[in-house]
Structure 1
Amino acid sequence: MSTAHFPLHDETTAPEAARPHLESARRRMGFITTLNAVMATSPELLAGYNALAEQFMKSSLPARAKHVVLITASVENGCAYCVAAHSTLALRSGLEADEVTALRNANPLRDRALEAVRRFTRVMVAERGWAPQEEVDAFIAAGFTERQVLDVVLGIGMKTLSNYTNHIAHTPLDPAWQQQEWTPDR
Protein backbone atom coordinates (compact mmCIF):
# COMPACT_ATOMS: atom_id res chain seq x y z
CA MET A 1 0.00 0.00 0.00
CA SER A 2 1.35 3.39 -0.98
CA THR A 3 1.99 5.99 1.66
CA ALA A 4 2.31 8.78 -0.93
CA HIS A 5 -0.70 11.06 -1.27
CA PHE A 6 -0.34 13.76 -3.89
CA PRO A 7 -2.68 16.68 -3.15
CA LEU A 8 -4.58 18.54 -5.83
CA HIS A 9 -3.43 22.10 -5.29
CA ASP A 10 -5.03 25.34 -6.38
CA GLU A 11 -3.75 28.90 -6.15
CA THR A 12 -4.55 29.03 -2.42
CA THR A 13 -2.99 25.73 -1.30
CA ALA A 14 0.02 25.38 -3.59
CA PRO A 15 3.53 26.31 -2.53
CA GLU A 16 4.09 30.01 -3.22
CA ALA A 17 6.46 29.36 -6.14
CA ALA A 18 3.82 27.25 -7.93
CA ARG A 19 0.98 29.76 -7.65
CA PRO A 20 1.86 31.93 -10.67
CA HIS A 21 2.07 28.78 -12.83
CA LEU A 22 -1.36 27.64 -11.67
CA GLU A 23 -2.82 31.09 -12.32
CA SER A 24 -1.31 31.02 -15.81
CA ALA A 25 -2.75 27.54 -16.41
CA ARG A 26 -6.19 28.73 -15.35
CA ARG A 27 -5.97 31.65 -17.79
CA ARG A 28 -4.70 29.43 -20.62
CA MET A 29 -7.08 26.47 -20.18
CA GLY A 30 -10.00 28.03 -18.32
CA PHE A 31 -9.35 25.71 -15.38
CA ILE A 32 -6.45 24.14 -13.49
CA THR A 33 -5.96 20.62 -14.76
CA THR A 34 -5.56 17.94 -12.15
CA LEU A 35 -2.13 17.29 -13.69
CA ASN A 36 -1.04 20.86 -12.92
CA ALA A 37 -2.69 20.58 -9.50
CA VAL A 38 -0.57 17.50 -8.71
CA MET A 39 2.61 18.94 -10.22
CA ALA A 40 2.25 22.06 -8.04
CA THR A 41 3.62 20.04 -5.12
CA SER A 42 6.96 20.56 -6.89
CA PRO A 43 6.98 24.12 -8.23
CA GLU A 44 10.06 23.28 -10.27
CA LEU A 45 8.36 20.33 -11.97
CA LEU A 46 5.31 22.44 -12.76
CA ALA A 47 7.45 25.30 -14.10
CA GLY A 48 9.59 22.91 -16.13
CA TYR A 49 6.62 21.09 -17.62
CA ASN A 50 4.86 24.31 -18.57
CA ALA A 51 8.06 25.74 -20.07
CA LEU A 52 8.58 22.59 -22.16
CA ALA A 53 4.95 22.67 -23.29
CA GLU A 54 5.29 26.30 -24.35
CA GLN A 55 8.50 25.60 -26.26
CA PHE A 56 7.06 22.48 -27.90
CA MET A 57 4.06 24.44 -29.15
CA LYS A 58 6.54 26.93 -30.72
CA SER A 59 8.55 24.13 -32.35
CA SER A 60 8.87 23.70 -36.10
CA LEU A 61 6.59 20.66 -36.27
CA PRO A 62 3.25 21.25 -37.99
CA ALA A 63 0.33 21.59 -35.54
CA ARG A 64 -1.19 18.21 -36.43
CA ALA A 65 2.20 16.51 -36.04
CA LYS A 66 2.54 17.95 -32.53
CA HIS A 67 -0.68 16.21 -31.50
CA VAL A 68 0.61 12.98 -33.02
CA VAL A 69 3.77 13.20 -30.91
CA LEU A 70 1.86 13.91 -27.69
CA ILE A 71 -0.70 11.14 -28.14
CA THR A 72 1.81 8.58 -29.43
CA ALA A 73 4.27 9.13 -26.57
CA SER A 74 1.43 8.91 -24.05
CA VAL A 75 0.08 5.69 -25.59
CA GLU A 76 3.55 4.15 -25.66
CA ASN A 77 4.04 5.12 -21.99
CA GLY A 78 0.56 3.83 -21.07
CA CYS A 79 -0.63 7.14 -19.61
CA ALA A 80 -4.44 7.09 -19.48
CA TYR A 81 -4.66 10.71 -18.30
CA CYS A 82 -2.51 12.17 -21.09
CA VAL A 83 -4.08 10.06 -23.84
CA ALA A 84 -7.54 11.32 -22.82
CA ALA A 85 -6.39 14.94 -22.49
CA HIS A 86 -4.45 15.05 -25.75
CA SER A 87 -7.15 13.16 -27.65
CA THR A 88 -9.64 15.83 -26.57
CA LEU A 89 -7.30 18.68 -27.52
CA ALA A 90 -6.40 17.06 -30.86
CA LEU A 91 -10.06 16.67 -31.80
CA ARG A 92 -10.75 20.28 -30.82
CA SER A 93 -7.86 21.44 -33.00
CA GLY A 94 -9.01 19.61 -36.12
CA LEU A 95 -7.35 16.20 -36.09
CA GLU A 96 -9.86 13.77 -37.60
CA ALA A 97 -11.65 11.34 -35.27
CA ASP A 98 -10.33 8.34 -37.23
CA GLU A 99 -6.77 9.66 -36.85
CA VAL A 100 -7.18 10.07 -33.10
CA THR A 101 -8.68 6.57 -32.85
CA ALA A 102 -5.77 5.11 -34.80
CA LEU A 103 -3.27 6.88 -32.53
CA ARG A 104 -5.05 5.67 -29.39
CA ASN A 105 -4.95 2.11 -30.74
CA ALA A 106 -1.29 2.41 -31.83
CA ASN A 107 -2.33 1.82 -35.44
CA PRO A 108 -0.75 3.34 -38.55
CA LEU A 109 -2.15 6.59 -39.96
CA ARG A 110 -3.22 6.97 -43.60
CA ASP A 111 -1.47 10.35 -43.93
CA ARG A 112 2.12 9.54 -44.90
CA ALA A 113 3.71 12.47 -43.05
CA LEU A 114 1.70 11.97 -39.87
CA GLU A 115 2.47 8.25 -39.96
CA ALA A 116 6.19 9.09 -40.15
CA VAL A 117 5.78 11.23 -37.02
CA ARG A 118 3.83 8.49 -35.24
CA ARG A 119 6.33 5.80 -36.15
CA PHE A 120 9.40 7.87 -35.24
CA THR A 121 7.87 8.95 -31.91
CA ARG A 122 6.90 5.38 -31.04
CA VAL A 123 10.38 4.07 -31.85
CA MET A 124 12.05 6.86 -29.87
CA VAL A 125 9.95 6.13 -26.77
CA ALA A 126 10.14 2.34 -27.08
CA GLU A 127 13.90 2.41 -27.62
CA ARG A 128 14.49 5.10 -24.96
CA GLY A 129 16.00 7.41 -27.55
CA TRP A 130 18.16 4.78 -29.27
CA ALA A 131 16.30 4.95 -32.57
CA PRO A 132 18.03 2.95 -35.29
CA GLN A 133 19.60 5.19 -37.96
CA GLU A 134 17.20 3.82 -40.57
CA GLU A 135 14.28 5.17 -38.49
CA VAL A 136 15.87 8.62 -38.33
CA ASP A 137 16.54 8.44 -42.08
CA ALA A 138 12.94 7.36 -42.79
CA PHE A 139 11.60 10.30 -40.75
CA ILE A 140 13.77 12.74 -42.72
CA ALA A 141 12.90 11.03 -46.03
CA ALA A 142 9.22 11.68 -45.20
CA GLY A 143 9.95 15.41 -45.49
CA PHE A 144 11.11 16.31 -41.99
CA THR A 145 14.36 17.96 -40.92
CA GLU A 146 17.06 17.34 -38.35
CA ARG A 147 15.52 20.19 -36.35
CA GLN A 148 12.21 18.34 -36.34
CA VAL A 149 13.93 15.16 -35.14
CA LEU A 150 14.94 17.19 -32.10
CA ASP A 151 11.48 18.79 -31.84
CA VAL A 152 10.09 15.26 -31.45
CA VAL A 153 12.60 14.71 -28.64
CA LEU A 154 11.30 17.90 -26.98
CA GLY A 155 7.70 16.65 -27.16
CA ILE A 156 8.69 13.26 -25.77
CA GLY A 157 10.56 14.95 -22.92
CA MET A 158 7.49 17.00 -22.08
CA LYS A 159 5.29 13.89 -22.10
CA THR A 160 7.76 11.91 -20.02
CA LEU A 161 7.37 14.45 -17.20
CA SER A 162 3.59 14.29 -17.28
CA ASN A 163 3.26 10.57 -18.00
CA TYR A 164 5.53 9.61 -15.12
CA THR A 165 3.84 12.08 -12.77
CA ASN A 166 0.44 10.61 -13.61
CA HIS A 167 1.71 7.06 -13.10
CA ILE A 168 2.96 7.69 -9.57
CA ALA A 169 0.27 10.17 -8.50
CA HIS A 170 -2.72 8.33 -10.04
CA THR A 171 -3.93 11.72 -11.26
CA PRO A 172 -7.72 11.80 -11.50
CA LEU A 173 -9.11 12.55 -14.95
CA ASP A 174 -10.54 16.03 -15.41
CA PRO A 175 -14.21 16.24 -16.46
CA ALA A 176 -13.04 18.02 -19.63
CA TRP A 177 -11.21 14.87 -20.78
CA GLN A 178 -13.69 12.18 -19.71
CA GLN A 179 -15.33 11.70 -23.12
CA GLN A 180 -11.94 10.53 -24.37
CA GLU A 181 -11.19 8.24 -21.43
CA TRP A 182 -8.64 5.59 -22.39
CA THR A 183 -7.26 2.49 -20.72
CA PRO A 184 -3.82 1.12 -21.59
CA ASP A 185 -3.47 -2.50 -22.69
CA ARG A 186 -0.97 -3.15 -19.90
Structure 2
Amino acid sequence: MARIAIPTIEEAPAKSLPILRNYVQVLGLVPNFFAMISQSPDALKAIADMHATLGKSLGHKTRERIHIMTAEVNGCSYCLTAHTFLGGKLQGLAADDMELNRDGHSTDPQADAALQFAYKIAKSRGHIEAADVEEVRAAGFTDQQIIDIVAETAFSFITNIFNNTFATERDSAFPPLSVRKAA
Protein backbone atom coordinates (compact mmCIF):
# COMPACT_ATOMS: atom_id res chain seq x y z
CA MET A 1 0.00 0.00 0.00
CA ALA A 2 1.28 3.46 -0.91
CA ARG A 3 2.54 5.59 1.97
CA ILE A 4 0.80 8.67 0.56
CA ALA A 5 -2.70 8.72 -0.86
CA ILE A 6 -3.12 8.42 -4.61
CA PRO A 7 -5.94 10.82 -5.42
CA THR A 8 -8.31 10.43 -8.32
CA ILE A 9 -8.19 13.09 -10.99
CA GLU A 10 -11.29 14.63 -9.41
CA GLU A 11 -9.52 14.89 -6.03
CA ALA A 12 -6.34 16.45 -7.41
CA PRO A 13 -5.58 20.15 -6.92
CA ALA A 14 -6.92 22.39 -9.70
CA LYS A 15 -3.38 23.50 -10.62
CA SER A 16 -2.46 19.87 -11.38
CA LEU A 17 -5.44 19.12 -13.63
CA PRO A 18 -4.01 20.29 -17.00
CA ILE A 19 -0.99 18.01 -16.60
CA LEU A 20 -3.07 15.07 -15.42
CA ARG A 21 -5.51 15.49 -18.30
CA ASN A 22 -2.57 15.45 -20.70
CA TYR A 23 -1.52 12.04 -19.33
CA VAL A 24 -5.05 10.75 -19.88
CA GLN A 25 -4.94 12.02 -23.47
CA VAL A 26 -1.53 10.48 -24.23
CA LEU A 27 -1.68 7.27 -22.18
CA GLY A 28 -5.37 6.72 -21.58
CA LEU A 29 -4.77 6.90 -17.82
CA VAL A 30 -3.07 8.90 -15.09
CA PRO A 31 -0.26 6.72 -13.76
CA ASN A 32 -0.34 6.40 -9.97
CA PHE A 33 3.02 8.18 -9.68
CA PHE A 34 1.71 11.34 -11.34
CA ALA A 35 -1.59 11.16 -9.43
CA MET A 36 0.34 10.87 -6.16
CA ILE A 37 2.68 13.79 -6.79
CA SER A 38 -0.19 15.90 -8.14
CA GLN A 39 -0.82 16.78 -4.49
CA SER A 40 2.15 19.11 -4.97
CA PRO A 41 1.40 20.97 -8.21
CA ASP A 42 4.95 22.36 -8.19
CA ALA A 43 6.54 18.91 -7.96
CA LEU A 44 4.20 17.58 -10.65
CA LYS A 45 5.00 20.46 -13.00
CA ALA A 46 8.76 20.16 -12.43
CA ILE A 47 8.77 16.43 -13.12
CA ALA A 48 6.42 16.69 -16.11
CA ASP A 49 8.54 19.49 -17.56
CA MET A 50 11.74 17.51 -17.07
CA HIS A 51 10.20 14.45 -18.67
CA ALA A 52 9.00 16.47 -21.66
CA THR A 53 12.26 18.36 -22.09
CA LEU A 54 15.19 16.03 -21.40
CA GLY A 55 16.93 13.61 -23.71
CA LYS A 56 15.37 14.53 -27.04
CA SER A 57 18.69 13.98 -28.82
CA LEU A 58 18.62 10.33 -27.73
CA GLY A 59 15.21 9.42 -29.11
CA HIS A 60 12.30 8.03 -27.13
CA LYS A 61 13.35 4.39 -27.36
CA THR A 62 16.77 4.98 -25.83
CA ARG A 63 15.22 7.17 -23.15
CA GLU A 64 12.82 4.38 -22.14
CA ARG A 65 15.69 1.88 -22.14
CA ILE A 66 17.65 4.13 -19.76
CA HIS A 67 14.63 4.39 -17.44
CA ILE A 68 14.23 0.59 -17.40
CA MET A 69 17.92 0.12 -16.58
CA THR A 70 17.94 2.78 -13.86
CA ALA A 71 14.82 1.32 -12.24
CA GLU A 72 16.57 -2.04 -12.00
CA VAL A 73 19.76 -0.49 -10.59
CA ASN A 74 17.81 1.49 -7.98
CA GLY A 75 15.44 -1.32 -7.04
CA CYS A 76 12.34 0.58 -8.20
CA SER A 77 9.72 -1.95 -9.26
CA TYR A 78 7.14 0.78 -9.94
CA CYS A 79 9.38 2.54 -12.49
CA LEU A 80 10.38 -0.80 -14.00
CA THR A 81 6.74 -1.66 -14.65
CA ALA A 82 5.84 1.84 -15.86
CA HIS A 83 8.71 2.13 -18.32
CA THR A 84 8.31 -1.43 -19.56
CA PHE A 85 4.67 -0.56 -20.27
CA LEU A 86 5.64 2.72 -21.99
CA GLY A 87 8.52 1.13 -23.88
CA GLY A 88 6.26 -1.52 -25.33
CA LYS A 89 3.07 0.48 -25.83
CA LEU A 90 4.46 3.80 -27.06
CA GLN A 91 7.88 2.90 -28.45
CA GLY A 92 7.38 -0.64 -29.74
CA LEU A 93 10.34 -2.05 -27.82
CA ALA A 94 10.51 -5.83 -27.84
CA ALA A 95 10.26 -7.75 -24.57
CA ASP A 96 13.67 -9.39 -25.10
CA ASP A 97 15.30 -5.99 -25.58
CA MET A 98 13.66 -4.55 -22.47
CA GLU A 99 14.88 -7.56 -20.49
CA LEU A 100 18.45 -6.78 -21.64
CA ASN A 101 17.92 -3.10 -20.79
CA ARG A 102 17.57 -4.03 -17.13
CA ASP A 103 21.26 -4.94 -17.07
CA GLY A 104 22.49 -2.05 -19.21
CA HIS A 105 22.37 -3.70 -22.64
CA SER A 106 20.26 -3.64 -25.78
CA THR A 107 19.80 -5.62 -28.97
CA ASP A 108 20.39 -2.33 -30.83
CA PRO A 109 24.18 -1.67 -31.00
CA GLN A 110 23.89 2.13 -30.69
CA ALA A 111 21.46 1.89 -27.78
CA ASP A 112 23.73 -0.74 -26.20
CA ALA A 113 26.62 1.75 -26.09
CA ALA A 114 24.39 4.40 -24.49
CA LEU A 115 23.03 1.92 -21.96
CA GLN A 116 26.45 0.59 -20.99
CA PHE A 117 27.55 4.17 -20.31
CA ALA A 118 24.35 5.00 -18.39
CA TYR A 119 24.70 1.77 -16.40
CA LYS A 120 28.22 2.77 -15.31
CA ILE A 121 26.89 6.18 -14.27
CA ALA A 122 23.98 4.71 -12.32
CA LYS A 123 26.01 2.01 -10.56
CA SER A 124 28.86 4.39 -9.62
CA ARG A 125 26.62 7.41 -8.93
CA GLY A 126 28.60 9.27 -11.58
CA HIS A 127 32.08 8.31 -10.46
CA ILE A 128 33.29 7.10 -13.84
CA GLU A 129 36.61 7.21 -15.67
CA ALA A 130 37.59 9.51 -18.55
CA ALA A 131 37.85 6.37 -20.69
CA ASP A 132 34.12 5.75 -20.18
CA VAL A 133 33.29 9.10 -21.78
CA GLU A 134 35.72 8.42 -24.62
CA GLU A 135 34.18 4.99 -25.18
CA VAL A 136 30.64 6.33 -25.62
CA ARG A 137 31.99 9.15 -27.80
CA ALA A 138 33.78 6.56 -29.96
CA ALA A 139 30.43 4.76 -30.35
CA GLY A 140 29.18 7.84 -32.20
CA PHE A 141 27.58 9.95 -29.48
CA THR A 142 28.02 13.71 -29.52
CA ASP A 143 28.79 15.70 -26.41
CA GLN A 144 25.15 16.87 -26.36
CA GLN A 145 23.96 13.27 -26.43
CA ILE A 146 26.42 12.27 -23.72
CA ILE A 147 25.09 15.07 -21.53
CA ASP A 148 21.55 13.90 -22.33
CA ILE A 149 22.42 10.33 -21.30
CA VAL A 150 23.60 11.64 -17.92
CA ALA A 151 20.56 13.93 -17.57
CA GLU A 152 18.12 11.13 -18.42
CA THR A 153 19.84 8.81 -15.93
CA ALA A 154 19.72 11.50 -13.22
CA PHE A 155 16.05 12.17 -13.96
CA SER A 156 15.33 8.47 -13.50
CA PHE A 157 16.91 8.66 -10.05
CA ILE A 158 14.38 11.35 -9.09
CA THR A 159 11.37 9.25 -10.02
CA ASN A 160 12.94 6.11 -8.51
CA ILE A 161 13.45 7.92 -5.19
CA PHE A 162 9.83 9.15 -5.12
CA ASN A 163 8.41 5.73 -5.91
CA ASN A 164 10.69 3.84 -3.54
CA THR A 165 10.01 6.34 -0.73
CA PHE A 166 6.24 6.26 -1.08
CA ALA A 167 5.88 2.60 -2.18
CA THR A 168 3.74 3.64 -5.13
CA GLU A 169 1.26 0.95 -6.10
CA ARG A 170 1.65 -0.51 -9.60
CA ASP A 171 -1.03 0.59 -12.04
CA SER A 172 -3.27 -2.27 -13.16
CA ALA A 173 -2.44 -1.55 -16.83
CA PHE A 174 1.28 -2.09 -16.18
CA PRO A 175 2.98 -5.51 -16.38
CA PRO A 176 3.45 -7.29 -13.03
CA LEU A 177 7.24 -7.01 -12.83
CA SER A 178 9.63 -6.70 -9.91
CA VAL A 179 13.26 -5.75 -9.85
CA ARG A 180 15.67 -8.63 -9.45
CA LYS A 181 18.07 -6.78 -7.21
CA ALA A 182 18.56 -3.47 -5.48
CA ALA A 183 21.70 -1.35 -5.70
Q: TM exceeds 0.5?
A: yes
Counterpart for residue 47 of structure 1? 45
Worse overlay, 138-147 or 122-131: 122-131
Contact persistence 1:60–1:151 (CA under 8 A): yes
Contact persistence 2:66–2:101 (CA under 8 A): no
- Residue of 57, 60, 64 corresponding to 1:60: 57
Compared with structure 1, are the counterparts of its residues 171 and 153 closer, same or farther at alpha carbon in structure 2 (3 Å cutoff)? same
- Residue of 85, 89, 94 corresponding to 1:88: 85
Counterpart for residue 105 of structure 2? 108
Post-superposition offset of 1:48: 1.0
- Residue of 151, 154, 160 corresponding to 1:154: 151
Cα offsets for 1:86-137 (capped at 9, x unmatched): 1122123222221111123x16334321211111111111222232111111
Give distance in 2, aligned partners of 1:113 and 1:163. Answer: 25
Identity of aligned residues (%): 25
Give distance in 2, aligned partners of 1:21 and 1:108. Answer: 32
Whichever residue aligns with residue 67 of structure 2, its letter is L
TM, length-normalised to structure 2:
0.89
Whichever residue aligns with residue 183 of structure 1, its letter is V
Counterpart for residue 185 of structure 1? 181
Count of matched residue pairs:
180
Worse overlay, 15-24 or 144-153: 15-24
TM, length-normalised to structure 1:
0.87
SS of residue matched to 1:177: coil
Post-superposition offset of 1:49: 0.9
- Residue of 118, 125, 128 corresponding to 2:115: 118
Structure 2 stretches of 5 or more lacking a match?
none
Worse overlay, 90-99 or 136-145: 90-99
Give distance in 1, aligned partners of 2:166 and 2:44. Answer: 14
**CA RMSD between the two structures:** 1.9
Counterpart for residue 10 of structure 1? 8
Post-superposition offset of 1:54: 0.6
Contact persistence 1:6–1:41 (CA under 8 A): no
Mapping 1:19-34, distance limit 5 Å:
19-34=17-32
Contact persistence 2:73–2:181 (CA under 8 A): no
Give distance in 1, aligned partners of 2:81 and 2:162. Answer: 15
Contact persistence 2:66–2:115 (CA under 8 A): yes
Contact persistence 1:10–1:19 (CA under 8 A): no
Give distance in 2, aligned partners of 1:5 and 1:73. Answer: 22
Contact persistence 2:104–2:118 (CA under 8 A): no
Worse overlay, 20-29 or 170-179: 20-29
Give distance in 2, aligned partners of 1:113 and 1:166. Answer: 29
- Residue of 110, 129, 132 corresponding to 1:132: 129
Compared with structure 1, are the counterparts of its residues 132 and 38 closer, same or farther at alpha carbon in structure 2 (3 Å cutoff)? same
Give distance in 1, aligned partners of 2:24 and 2:151. Answer: 24
